[in-house]
A = this chain, B = another copy of it.
Amino acid sequence: MFALSASLLVKEYAVYAKHSGIPEIKTVLGGFIIRRFLGLWTLITKSLGLVLAVASGMWLGKEGPLVHVACCCANLFIKLFPSINNNEARKREVLSAAAASGISVAFGSPIGGVLFSLEQLSYYFPDKTMWQSFVCAMTAAMVLEAFDPFRSGKLVMYQVTYSSVWHGFELVPFVLLGLLGGVYGGLFIKANMWVARWRKSATWLPGPVIQVVAVAILTALLNYPNNYMRAQCSDLVSNLFSECSKLTDDQFGLCKTGAASAGTIILLIFAAVLGFFLAAITFGLQIPAGIILPSMAIGALVGRAIGIIMEIWQHNHPNFIAFRSCEPDVPCITPGTYAIIGAAAALGGVTRMTVSIVVIMFELTGALTYVLPIMVAVMISKWVGDAFSRRGIYESWIHFNEYPYLDNSEEIPIPDIPASQIMTRIEDLVVLTATGHTIASLTAVMEQHPYRGFPVVSDPRDAILLGYISRAELAYILHASTQPPRLLPPETEAFFAHQPLADPRTTLDLRQWMDQTPLTLPRGSRLHLAVSYFQKLGLRYVMFVDRGVLQGLLTKKDVWYVLNGAEETRRTAGRGEPMGGGVARGGGDGEREGLLGVGRGEEEVEVVSPIGDGGSNLL
């Protein structure tokens, strides 16, 4: 076991193979690029590392990492199709669909996968993507069923068929489970983030590999004495969900009756507390590790415990007013259902998903008659969890890692200020004038300034906005025109405006390389509106004009800095951010993405490198 954990050293070769990968996928689908995150090396190390990590018996899940693996595969596969690979919008659609298939195979839950991708991961999810994800998740599930890796012949992993329906009074414990799930989610996020911060600040800690080994040893020592913890997470969950009368061998002693069941309750609660503790220190280590299954297990442990308590209570006081609706001589309480509801509530508290959890739970278990209690518990769990903190676990990690993810939900408070307060003013921008350049002078401007593009104005005094040229297009055309067949000398005149006297053979007309219809907002626009532009139109920058005169430029990253508070800006400065092309704030750091698919169409060039190989694909 330790040996396996130790072999996670491989991971050192691809640092993005660690963790669940879901926060990063969210960031990527939100329109930013993380180099090498979806590359071949990440795929290989993550796949191997995941197998080893799960086999090590540590308290982690395989679901999140499988989503990452699916996205890596998709990203490598679409490199074969340049028409998709060069279109950021379509690439993201493919990644959304791949994520759906990841969950589809992880839980055997095709519809749940589509909804997970929709609810948790995706930033833009048009109808078309829904349909693509549907086909993708279905195919994945069909292939899984054909391979039948668990030799069970069915897709439903933890199938249960309960012989009873639920009673009205059971809503009280179900609501309690929802509450507990929310409290668990809130506390877990706080604890996990506290561990992560502590780990980052405690410089005396040994390296990540030693940490992994230490946690693995600790896990082994703590788990061995406890019957429940010794098992694999998924076995445990499967047993917790099952009904006693259907269980052939009671491996975990869950179905003891009488006095012995008191011990079972204590063991279950103890296992849940231990699981909470282990999951909090494991999630965030440098290994592939998901949080979905551990959360479900913890919820199921607590749920089962409450179920057994209810069962004993009902058994001892069958005449209590609430239990009147029970039929005599038939088991009234099914502790397995409490486990399912507890698992759903815990998952809801941690991830803050709603519809997807319900669908995943009933695709996992087939407990269709319990759909209403599950919905109630998930709803309450989300309410309670949101009271602790509005961020789910994945959003918390995005925040912790300071990924520039612009939350799409309408719940972030956007300060009601004019966007012009935070834009980069024209005085601080590097703008190009329409005329008076040579190839050499433009090359010099590009070498001097790292910005991703430059606004073009009529002349410096009267800065009428003419267009915007991206660094990539400018670099390409300047380079191309000094090569055969044109072979223009560096002192060639270059301009962005109509020059009737210029000889097209000896001068360089850059107008066709410039975006002549850049999107603009009026100067007085509020920040709300600018944020809508970024979120809904998928832009990366917008320029502000007043009656045609350029006033300034605002990038998506600027907005992200503002919305995420100024104190973090300072902290970020010192760290090597894994963002592609992370250039200085305030410059023309942006490129209109392919998302709109509008405007200049085929001419549009994606500057940012395709994820993974670091090359930049010009025209």
Contact = CB atoms under 8 A, between A and B. Distances in A.
Interface of A: 110-111, 114-115, 119, 126-128, 130-131, 134-135, 138, 141-142, 145, 153-156, 161, 165, 354-355, 358-359, 362-363, 366, 368-369, 371-372, 375-376, 379, 382, 408-411, 416, 464-465, 516-526, 528-529, 532-533, 536-537, 545-549, 596-599, 601
Contacts of A138: 372, 375-376, 379
Given A134-B355, A358-B111, A145 B372 contact: yes
Contact of A368 (B363, B408, B519, B532): B363
26 contacts: A128-B411, A130-B354, A131-B354, A134-B355, A134-B379, A135-B379, A138-B372, A142-B372, A153-B165, A154-B165, A155-B369, A155-B371, A156-B369, A366-B366, A368-B368, A516-B524, A517-B523, A517-B525, A519-B521, A525-B599, A526-B599, A528-B596, A532-B598, A537-B537, A546-B548, A548-B548
Nearest to A530: B598
A522 B518 contact: yes
Contact of A366 (B363, B368, B416, B465): B368
Given A154-B369, A521-B519, A597 B126 contact: no
Given A111-B358, A134-B355, A548-B549, A127 B408 contact: yes
A156 B368 contact: yes
A565 B230 CA distance: 68
Contacts of A110: 371-372, 375
B529 A596 contact: yes
Contacts of A516: 522, 524
The 10 closest A-B pairs by CB, nearest first: A548-B548, A547-B548, A528-B598, A517-B522, A529-B598, A536-B536, A366-B368, A138-B375, A517-B524, A134-B354
Contacts of A126: 408-410
Nearest to A515: B522
B520 A522 contact: yes
B111 A359 contact: yes
A359 to B, nearest CB: 6
A389 to B, nearest CB: 16
Contacts of A141: 372, 375
Contacts of A548: 464, 545-549
A358 to B, nearest CB: 6
A91 to B, nearest CB: 15
Contacts of A522: 516-520
A549 B134 CA distance: 47
A497 to B, nearest CB: 12
Contacts of A371: 110-111, 155, 363
A111 B362 CA distance: 11
A546 B548 CA distance: 7
